């Protein structure tokens, strides 16, 4: 695999890609420039600008083999297009490309949304004052409640995924991903994750609901304004129909202070002003009327799944699929951390 085939915008915007962009973005003034946006380990994401100062975001999947629904740019674009008229803030989709288009990989282009990404506590404390961060931390919960209130049939997403059995399908899917990522030093970690999967399977709660679920919902996947309002929710590649409390479990897993100690990263929700996890969960319950008696299960399954994601990322980077110079030790550390979090007493 060549660097160009894995990351076709790494050295600039090829003329054919520029022509495709110009035809689909009538307000644009070529030529175009593409700058990689750091922070993701799944999709490759670029800020694309023209000479007039217009900006868009282009996301494309990495080259190579893909697991299940991972890296599905078409699915992501479809969900954002459907949700754009609702109360859920998402970027406006402008173009959707397939492997047959000039880029050579499935992709989509959205309008660029100005604002802040609160990647960690330092970013949160620098970019927002405590009152604004509190507003952001509660607004991201309110936005999740708004997403789960969307009727998938009414917005044209009724066939986005199978109905019911979401948790069992997720368990089966991630077990398969983990098994395929179990070579070398990953083997003992994969064995621990399989043992945890068996315990989760025995404790499975109700699994018959089919709401729109984001699949990777957390404050770090949102763009906020200076006052803490949510301007856009990002990273919809795992969106499907399923159990809404799975989203809440993942949001909690990336909110919970123990994640900081295990991962060596201070999360945005630990910066001054942010609501506590208990406040966030209570806010979701108040907005939705949800029974949270099974919250413990959803939290643990979220931690287990994130551990599997780290194991998959380790495998993809070490096999050269992502074609980036990344210190893969971070994925080993993350996998071990999320395994421990999934097993700690609540």
Chain segment 160-218, per-residue pLDDT in tens = 999 999 999 999 999 999 999 988 888 999 999 999 999 999 999 999 999 999 999 99
CATH fold label, 3-111 = Phosphorylase Kinase; domain 1 (3.30.200)
pLDDT of residue 313: 85
pLDDT of residue 2: 33
Query: What are the Cα distances from residue 262, in Å, to 123, 267, 298?
Result: 20, 11, 19
How far apart (Å, rounded) are the C-alpha atoms in residues 212 and 209? Answer: 10
* Segments making up each domain of the chain, as ranges: 3-111, 121-343
Rounded mean pLDDT, 275-282: 97
Query: Is there a common fold for 3-111 and 121-343?
Result: no
Q: Which CATH superfamily is domain 121-343 in?
A: Aminoglycoside phosphotransferase (APH), C-terminal lobe (3.90.1200.10)
Average pLDDT, the chain: 91
The HSE-up count of residue 55 (CA atoms within 13 Å, CB side) is 9
Neighbouring CB atoms inside 10 A of 286's CB total 12
Q: What is the pTM of this model?
A: 0.91
Nearest CA-CA partner of 157 in 99, 218, 214:
214
pLDDT digits (tens, 9 = 90+) for 31-63: 999 999 986 657 899 999 999 999 999 999 887
Q: Hey, is 222 helix, strand or coil? A: strand
DSSP string computed for 118-160: --SHHHHHHHS-HHHHHHHHHHHHHHHHHHHHS-TTTTT-TTS
């Amino acid at each position: 695999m060549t660097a160009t085939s894995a990351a076709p915008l790494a050295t600039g915007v090829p003329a054919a890609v520029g022509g495709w962009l110009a035809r689909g973005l009538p307000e644009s003034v070529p030529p175009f420039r593409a700058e990689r946006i750091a922070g993701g380990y799944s999709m490759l994401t670029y800020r694309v600008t023209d000479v007039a100062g217009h900006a868009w975001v282009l996301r494309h999947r990495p080259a190579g083999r893909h697991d299940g629904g991972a890296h599905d740019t078409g699915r992501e674009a479809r969900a954002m297009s459907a949700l754009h008229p609702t109360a859920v803030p998402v970027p406006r989709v402008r173009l959707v490309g397939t492997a047959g288009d000039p880029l050579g990989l499935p992709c989509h282009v959205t309008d660029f949304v100005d604002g802040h990404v609160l990647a960690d506590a330092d970013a949160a404390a620098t970019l927002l004052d405590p009152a604004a961060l509190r507003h952001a931390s509660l607004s991201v919960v309110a936005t999740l409640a708004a997403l789960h209130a969307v009727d998938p049939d009414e917005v044209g997403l009724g066939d986005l995924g199978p109905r019911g059995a979401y948790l069992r399908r997720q368990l089966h899917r991630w077990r398969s991903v983990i098994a395929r990522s179990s070579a070398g030093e990953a083997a003992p970690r994969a064995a621990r994750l399989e043992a945890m999967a068996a315990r989760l399977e025995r404790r499975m709660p109700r699994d018959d609901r089919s709401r729109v679920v984001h699949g990777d919902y957390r404050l770090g996947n949102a763009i906020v304004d200076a006052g803490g309002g949510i301007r856009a929710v990002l990273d919809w590649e795992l969106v499907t129909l399923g159990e809404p409390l799975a989203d809440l479990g993942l949001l909690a897993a990336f909110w919970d202070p123990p994640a900081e100690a295990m991962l060596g990263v201070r999360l945005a929700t630990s910066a001054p002003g942010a609501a506590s996890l208990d406040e966030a969960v209570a806010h979701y319950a108040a907005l939705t009327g949800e029974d949270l008696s099974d919250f413990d299960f959803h939290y643990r399954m979220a931690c287990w799944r994130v551990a599997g994601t780290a194991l998959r990322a380790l495998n993809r980077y070490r096999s050269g699929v992502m074609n980036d110079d990344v210190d893969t030790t971070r994925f080993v550390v993350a996998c071990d951390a999320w395994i421990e979090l999934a097993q700690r007493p609540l």
